[in-house]
Amino acid sequence: MSKKILIVDDLHPTFKEQSIAMGYQVDDEPLITRQQTLEKIKDYVGIAVRTKFRIDAEIFDAAPNLKFVARAGAGLDNIDDKIAFDRNIQLINAPEGNCDAVGEHAVGLLLSLMNNFRRADAEIRNGIWDREGNRGYELKGKKVGIIGYGFMGQSFAKKLAGFEVDVMAYDKYKTGFSDAFAREVSMEEIVKHSDVLSLHIPLTTETKLMVDDEYFFHFKKPIFFINTARGEIVHVSAVLNGIKSGKILGAGLDVLQTEKFPALSEQDWYNELKLNNQVILTPHVGGWTFDSYRKISEVLADKLRDL
């Protein structure tokens, strides 16, 4: 059987080009449906996907010749990794390709929150000139807490290097990772000292809805909260409650517990969220830039070459 790869999502052409150079036959079908994929995946040794659909038992069962799944992004939460492991199917992803985008996006959200950019812009457009009401905070001297110190957490820490902040990082699964950009601390130190909290952890059964009212309760100081990781890690209602209580000064959310319309508009917390001027929302684009679009495919191709 020829080595065939099926691309079912919109990937930068470099992945296809480099795969062909490695001797693969590549069918690039970004408009293919899940049902069409099920009907033809039996002939392929590899599948490349972004977020179109979950690579689950049904897909794996229809693909007896599958050797690898290439996920064009950072996380693997839309792939049933247990089945892949049991069947010796390799999983490759590309956090190296979009970590700079995520780090920059997190900094942008934080600066916008601390300086009231969203509210100030809206007020001026509506004839309001309020300097005092839009007085902001400086980052210099603040303590920034990072949860998760993989590619994304490290990138955020590096981007903060010029702001003269004290960056603290906690990672449940790593030790001895202090570097020039962050110092390893306990979770107790994070909750005691943080002025800013930023999440950079994957969605797992352990982290799903981990951040709730009790989680925020333990923080000793009011915080600015940033989530560019996965929306299902955080109860949106807990963020709104934290803002109402003064525990959260502002929240920058690139990801939400429920995403896309119409499902988002049907959530009982959506109206309160959209009306809250202490929240900045972006549509899960933290890692999705014109640059990362290319870099993700380059990383995937490099990892495919190493398989």
3-state secondary structure 249-303: EEEEECCCCCCCCCCHHHCCCHHHHHHCCCEEECCCCCCCCHHHHHHHHHHHHHH
Catalytic residue among 12, 105, 119, 230: 230
183 flagged as catalytic: no
259 flagged as catalytic: yes
Contact 46, 67 (CB under 8 A): yes
Q: How far is it, in rounded angstroms, from Cα 185 to Cα 41?
A: 46
Catalytic residue among 96, 284, 294, 298: 284
Residue in 49, 36, 150, 138 with CA at minimum distance from that of residue 91: 49
Tokens representing 110? 């934080």
Q: Is 29 left (phi over 0), alpha (psi -120 to 50) or beta?
A: beta
Catalytic residue among 232, 259, 272, 298: 259
Helix boundaries (H) for 115-229? 117-125, 151-159, 187-193, 213-217
Residue type, 60: F
What positions carry a catalytic annotation?
Answer: 230, 259, 284
